[in-house]
Amino acid sequence: MTPESRISELADAMTLAEQVSLLSGSDFWSLPAVERLSIGKLRVTDGPNGARGGGSLIGGVKSAAFPVGIALGATWNPDLLHQIGQALADEVKSKNAHVLLAPTVNIHRNQTNGRNFECYSEDPILTAELAVGYITGLQSQGIGATIKHFAGNESEIQRTTMSSDVDERTLREVYLVPFEAAVKRAKTWAVMSSYNRLNGTYTSEHGWLLNTVLRGDWGFDGVVMSDWFGSHSTAPSILNGLDLEMPGPARDRGEKLIAAVESGEVPAGVIRQRVINILRLMARTGALDDHRPFSESANDRPEHRALIRKAGAESAVLLQNNGLLPLTNPGKIAVIGPNAAVAQIMGGGSAQLNAHYRVSPLDGLTAALGADRVIHATGCDNGKFQPILQTPLKMALYPTTDLSGEPTTVQDLTEAQGFWFGEIAPGIDAAHFSARITGQFTAPKAGTWRLGLRVAGLARIRVDGVQVAEAWETWTKGTTFFEEGCEEVLADLPLTAGQTIQIEIDLSSKPSANLAFTALAVGLGLPTGQAEIDEAVAAARAADVAIVCVGRDASWDTEGADLPGISLPGGQVSLIRAVAAANPRTVVVLQTGGPVEMPWTGEVAAIVQAWYPGQEAGNAIADVLLGQAEPGGRLPQSFPVRYEDGVTFTQDPEIYPGLDGHVRYEEGVFIGYRHHDKTGTDPLWPFGFGLSYTNFDISDLTIGPIDAEGNFQATLKVTNTGDRAGSEVIQLYLTPAPCPVPRPKRELKAFAKVHLKPGETQTVTLSLDARAFAWFDTQTRRWIASAGTYGVEIGRNAMDLPLQGRITLAETIIRLP
């Protein structure tokens, strides 16, 4: 019996109730089994930079933390992403799951999207190629990919209700391109709809998006699932293409859906087709016959450690270098900055996980050079919130919301934060409970400490019996915890060195706005000032080289909130300038999920953009700085001189951040480097830019011939003219022939990453087809490659394209979507 025959027979053998049961989750991470028919239980797990498993966003079974999406985007290496996909399949299997909720392929429309760190690039072709590598690697090992978020989720502001208003041409030419490649080329087994509305309709019930485009135009035969709590209806979602409502238990399906079928509102045949899609995914992943009891393991694999370290180095982008790097004989180094001793390995939100370990830049450089050659100073802080209170705590849980009665259980906590959903203890539901958390804190230093409280729920804090902060009576919805929490409530606590205080935190659940969970974070920190900068300056003066580790962290680059701008937060600009004035041999290591303004570039010797490269962060950074590895990255996103130079900086709030529930993509296809070309505003660092420790020469361009189908090749030679092995990314851009619609000045259409030894030459062939010439005609809904002469530009980035030629398409070619 073929797999298709089997799933068809199973679907027909089910009762209506059994069929409907498979169209909603049974809990947060799994579907129900159908025991009568011996159908197993499908389990999913969050990605995309690891496999968290079935636990909370905080804590849980440990997992390998791989580089984040923008870091992988900077590798420009689909083969590497294929390897990472294969490795992630191992991670998913260790969590007893069958499907990974990844990759994230939304496009970098603007510089401030809080989730840019999780996405690959501002360019659809680069994003598509990387997504295909990731998905094919993952699914080659029997684990399903879930490409997300389909579609129009390019901002985190009011994302659960906002309508992204985008014309069809822009969707087809930019935002849908990675999804189309994932379906047609990688054969992805699942797609996740986004939270937002698209042109006024929620994507989870968008018939044009899910039925016409995804299933009709592209031939998708897998599962469309909602983002968590991202479905909003019974009949509209099922009729318009949503197979699976997540998470469980059912909200708009279950008995409601059975009633809709019995009343004739939803045809039984539609239910059957949705069930067939679910069973097909189960068959592809082996879940159909998986009856193992659920268990998770933390497998710290040496081969995954090595791959993460390699990928971290290959993602690092060398932005500036006056010859200081690599540090082959650095002498004594000062490792300075808020990201020096703290390993910033990932962004915030649903992609975060409990990593096996975290290597900071200080750790990596100390391991490589020895502690006697390393000086450390913090210099300043850069967190958006107060640092989480780390101290032993007791949490007494109550089945009521007002701490009445007796606690049913008491749990130990190691820090004052938590994220709770579902059943969190026997008889305790995260949607209806309260807790009292108690512990002590002893101040290591005298000063005015700052306490911070964030809660999705209600909370109040007492210190030594006196209430000092509350978000209970005065709780107001803010932007924390995926826009379900309040803004941080602050209180100052003057403490002497060695003073011990008693802390009590009362917590209660409350009805949620969109996403059903309760969350708490209590921070306590001692703010930094001029004394810390002075200490950093002294360290820089005492060293031969100063390495300043700055940027952001997961409180800034996070799901659920956009950035307020792209300047470095806190006192980091002052720190960089003070250190550079004290030591001209200063290297700045940036860790961010996107661009930052750099008014200090002329004051420092070298700049490395290291992103959030996973659990091996400090080792990968040390490898690059010390020359043990090549900085193999190239920018996947343009870095503007100023935030004001970006496409979404405008006086029209409907263009960004949105107005009255709508955000209008007025710029159309002109985002990223296309925007800079259109406006004539030079970026600080262009798309595709990155330096090497060696030098390359590109030459001997040959173009064509072009055949009747519009296929052609461009070939060139690449030579490593330096004395080190290294890599170069060869990028091909097309300039348009005349056509009826405005087109970008140039568009990336092909690229290749070349690794060469000193003196080695390689011939590179870049292949294109008719689609590379095409624009999307919204009247006929066809791709049109207009006849005419196109420019072919090849080089190292969007502003360095020394090899140029032309190719003529003799006749217009029209293709179906």
Residue with tokens 């029997």: 142
Host H or E run for residue 696:
strand 696-703
Structural tokens at position 271? 């239910």
Q: Do 811 and 787 touch, CB atoms closer than 8 A?
A: yes
Is residue 809 within 8 A of residue 773, CB to CB? The reply is yes
- C-alpha 571/C-alpha 565 separation (Å) is 15
**Adjacent-strand bridge partners of 785:** 813
Smallest Cα–Cα separation from 201: which of 174, 241, 154?
A: 241
DSSP SS3 for 404? coil
CA distance 220 to 189: 8
Cα 288 from Cα 11, distance rounded (Å): 12
Size (the chain), residues: 817
Determine phi and psi for 611, rounding to 5 degrees: 55, -150
Nearest alpha-carbon partner for 347 in 51, 115, 678: 115
* Helical residues (DSSP H) of 396-441, grouped into ranges: none
Instruction: Locate 270 and state its tokens.
Output: 């539609």
Residue in the structure block whose two tokens are 């002893």: 442
| Rg over CA atoms, the chain | 27
Written as six digits, the tokens of 493 are 């606590």
DSSP 767: E
Cα 550 to Cα 82: distance, rounded to the nearest angstrom: 31
For residue 753, which amino acid is it?
Answer: K
Task: Please give the Cα distance from 36 to 234 (Å, whole number).
Answer: 26
Spell out the alpha helix ranges (H) of 316-437.
Answer: 361-369
Q: Kindly report the number of other CB atoms within 10 A of residue 423's CB atom.
A: 13
Q: Which residues are catalytic?
A: 227
Question: How far apart (Å, rounded) are the C-alpha atoms in residues 382 and 359?
Answer: 19
List the one residue out of 388, 400, 301 whose CA is nearest residue 616: 301
Token pair listed for 15: 């009762």
CA 643 to chain centre: 21
Name residue 411's beta-bridge partners: 395
- What residues contact residue 418 under an 8 Å CB cut-off, 6+ apart? 56, 58, 395, 519, 520
Closest CA to 74 of 119, 8, 42: 119
Which one-letter DSSP state was computed for residue 446? -
What b-and-e string marks burial along 129-139, b requiring 16 or more CB atoms within 10 Å of the CB?
Answer: bbbbbbbbbbb
Distance CA 486, CA 385 (A): 12
